[in-house]
Amino acid sequence: MTTSFPFLQDWMDKAPQDHPLADLITEATGNSPADNFAFATVAAFENIIEALEKARPERLAGVRRDFRNARTFNNDLLIVRAEMVAGAKLARAGILFDFGRRNGATDPDLVLREMNLGIEVKARRLDGLEDLRDELAVALAEVDTKVLVTVCPDSQPLIIKADVRAKVVADTIQRVRSGSLGSAVTEVEQPWSARKRLLLKISIHEADNLPNGSLVTVVNGFWDSEPGPHMLDTEAQVLAALHDEQKIRQAQAMPTILLVDVARTGSAYIRSPRVWAQRLETLLPDTTPFVGVAVMVPSADDPDVGISLGLRSNLSDQDRAAVDELTRRLGLTGV
């Protein structure tokens, strides 16, 4: 039995054939089971787009254009999806909103018509271990020898600088070519991190039985009590967005909540929504022009998303009333 996705298919009209969703749509519209990744992902986009089309916010055409112009799944498409999933959440709650004006305007991404409130959405990918694993895999694909390479850090880095990754990759490839098996440890200075020093152990093992060439795996876990260094670094990245000059101008134009998509920011997803809300409210400075800062962890196969919000303590009565109305209608976490 085949399935059609009319709202998504309409948005895909005139999109390039190599659009990041094209292959997933082909798989999902065939005989794929409803619980596989392709079907769940495509169905989630269909749900989101349907909610947006029925709400009919102004300037939806700009979002549709960004969707069609996406060239990569993990960057272009997921960035515009963050704005789409937030808008769909408002739409399902019956909250009237419009997408903000673009091209240098000071509008936030989402402007709530009846609450004198805006939401500015930011999505950023930061994952030092995944970056290193991917770059090692690409380099190893050029080597004839089949090996299993394991990467084991002594703590979980949010960021590994590009020059450090390049050196680790070069050293590892040299060891593979020379047949130097076993483990080697690299010490990495991280002055920007809550943990100032990182130890990376790279181990190389013979693996002639691997069917698809060499394999790179990451051996890691979650270290320390909450909030450990990794989460402290993640919090710092969320709060750093408060100092973005363009976003500050938007917050000064109207009362604005900064909503940060942290789904691809290290392991931010392991923290509970309630703890996120509590930490954000504790850390948010009273001097920021933003009404509050929130995080969300959207999943590609889920059309909805939970939001954790921390508010500035010195809000005006008018701003407090607007935020209270928003949180009541959305059921936001931990406010």
User: Angle at Cα 306 formed by Cα 330 and Cα 270, nearest 5°?
Assistant: 155
pLDDT at 222: 58
pLDDT at 30: 78
Ranges of the chain with pLDDT below 70? 1-3, 31-35, 104, 221-225, 333-335
**Contacts with 158 (C-beta within 8 Å, 6 or more apart), sequence order:** 126, 127, 128, 193, 230, 233, 234, 237, 265, 266
pLDDT at 228: 85
* Nearest-angstrom CA–CA distance, 105 and 118: 14
pLDDT at 1: 40
pLDDT at 150: 95
pLDDT at 212: 80
CB atoms within 10 A of CB 224: 14
Q: What is the dihedral of CA 125, 193, 226, 328, to 10 degrees?
A: -50
pLDDT at 34: 64
